[in-house]
Amino acid sequence: MVAMLIRGGAIALLASLIAVSACKGSIGDPTGGGAGSSEDGCVGCTPEGLEIAQSLRFPRLSHSQWENTVQDLFKLPAPSGQSAGFAPDPLSGKLFDNNVVTLEVNSALWADYQRAAEEIATQVTGDTALLSNIVPAALPTEPLERRDAFLESFVKRAYRRPVSKAELTRIATVFDQGGTHYPEMDAFTSGVRMTIEAVLQSPNFLYRAELATSEQDLVALTDYELASRLSYALWNSMPDDELFAAADRGDLSSADTLGIEIDRLLADERTTQTFRRFFDQLGHGEEYPQLDKSDSLYPTFTTETALGLREELGKFVSHVVDGGGGLSELLLDRTTFVTANTAEIYGIDPSTLNFDASGFAQVELDSSQRAGLLTRAGFLAWRGTSAQPDTILRGVYVAKSVTCTLLGDPPDEAAGAEFGDEVTNRQRVEALTGPGTCGASCHGQVINPLGFAFEHYGAAGEWRDVDNGQPIDATGTFNFDGVDASYANAVELSALIAKSPSAHQCFANAWIEFALGRDLVAEDIGFSELVADESVAGAPIRDVLRALLLSDVFRYRRTDPEIGQVGP
């Protein structure tokens, strides 16, 4: 109902935000110019000499952020489920679903937002308990005062910042039309319904606007902007009442009091879920349910098996993070969690295990066969065909996502290339991409050596000693940080990766992308190197993230010379 009243103004503002977001070819382009400089001429540097990248000032809420925010805003007992019907956001090759580059609004999504706003408004105003969640206690009895008290409280939480008198006046106009459109309801409730419809369609709700201005080239985020950055980074949702109160007091402008709030958020169960979400997306866990294995070779591998492997990933991550582990533990810890059928992949007799109420049992894996995350069945089955290990894709993933090794595009000659009839999987890969082939350089020096380390693991991640009757050869040599190192298998490879500064920096790079919701850019490298140094020294994963959230990289942004300062 309210869509016709606000559509003109809201679409105009929405369009302006999208235009601002899209005017840069790449976020933080180091050639963009116009940013601040320190005494040594460093463009966009903080006083400590770290560079700060340009970033989009109006990131749209992802679908999961929208869902979580609606649940927290209205204190719903469960997610509304409305976002399941939204037009999907394509990842477009990005690692994480909160990357602002992929978060656009088209006509289909705009219609989805309108429908969801109307249905949420109907749900909340039709339930006395839900309505009481958003109406402050002890409201004035005089109608206009009652309206204004509600609007000031609700809209501030929905927009996640203080609201100007002009904004409240405009929304009050919408509130006052409730009785006309919903005459069957009392005047106050109908006004609340109209307000909810309007607010949930407003760009001020759908985007996390960073409106702070400065005459300087580096802009310090306001307390409210920091509160939102923190809550969406750690909880994937809006700030809670305590974080809003800290912003009201101005506590987030101080590193000491900001650190207190960061520690509080890190200790919350919602952050545990965020760690799981980070690793699930980094490891493509969303693709596990579609895994398809040969019925003749793997008759017990079902969708249930695949789902168990995805949950194993989450449980293993929680085990490492909650235990104070760092990247090294993630790569080397042999503890894992199995169901009755995933236990069989690891060669464990399920009848010997005690499963908990969720159907999982904690086990220690054979140290001669397994190390940490890269030897878990989930990763290996994901990077396996229906019947064989996918050596090339295993090597590509480790190169790109674990060591951040740059890989070029496949040569034209590789299009349509097929494996031959050599005896073993390794022989087939070498014949197709090894010495004397078009893939000799990239494959022979990077992809294949990494992939061959996993030859002991079949298509479902099971251990094997022979391939087609021949002994497995899982040896390889890879250049770690300028030094060639050899290994006999994936366990030894994992140990080498755990010591590699490049791998730790690659890990830090991923956290920067995830926490800031944008691509990694050149200005980020100095900071990621500092974080990597701490990670190599054994810093827990929680401390790696905490360092990022406390840094100037998180607390400041650069003035965009093309956009300038956009006021509220």
DSSP letters for 401-447: IIS-----PPPGGGTT------SSHHHHHHHHHSTTSTTTTHIIIII
Using one digit for the tens of pLDDT, what is the confidence trace for 548-565? Answer: 999 999 999 887 644 433
Residue 3 has what pLDDT?
54
Is the alpha carbon torsion for 121, 125, 126, 132 positive or negative?
positive
Residue 76 has what pLDDT?
97
Residue 55 has what pLDDT?
77
Using one digit for the tens of pLDDT, what is the confidence trace for 490-500? Answer: 999 999 999 99
Residue 74, φ and ψ in degrees, nearest 5: -100, 0
Residue 142 has what pLDDT?
96
> Is residue 417 within 8 Å of residue 402, measured between CB atoms?
no
> Is residue 454 within 8 Å of residue 394, measured between CB atoms?
yes
> Is residue 104 within 8 Å of residue 86, measured between CB atoms?
no
> What's the whole-model pTM score?
0.88
Residue 56 has what pLDDT?
80
Q: Which candidate, 206, 159, 21, 28, places its Cα nearest to that of 100?
A: 21
> Angle at CA 340, nearest 5°, toward 338 and 341?
90
Task: Return the number of other C-beta atoms located less than 10 Å from residue 85's C-beta.
Answer: 11
What are the tokens at 116? 């969801």
Residue 65 has what pLDDT?
97
Residue 213 has what pLDDT?
80
Q: Give the integer Cα–Cα distance in Å for 322 and 316.
A: 10
Low-confidence ranges of the chain (pLDDT < 50): 4-44, 47, 438, 561-568
213-232 CB burial, b ≥16 within 10 A, e <16: eeeebbbebbbbbbbbbbbb
Residue 556, φ and ψ in degrees, nearest 5: -125, 165
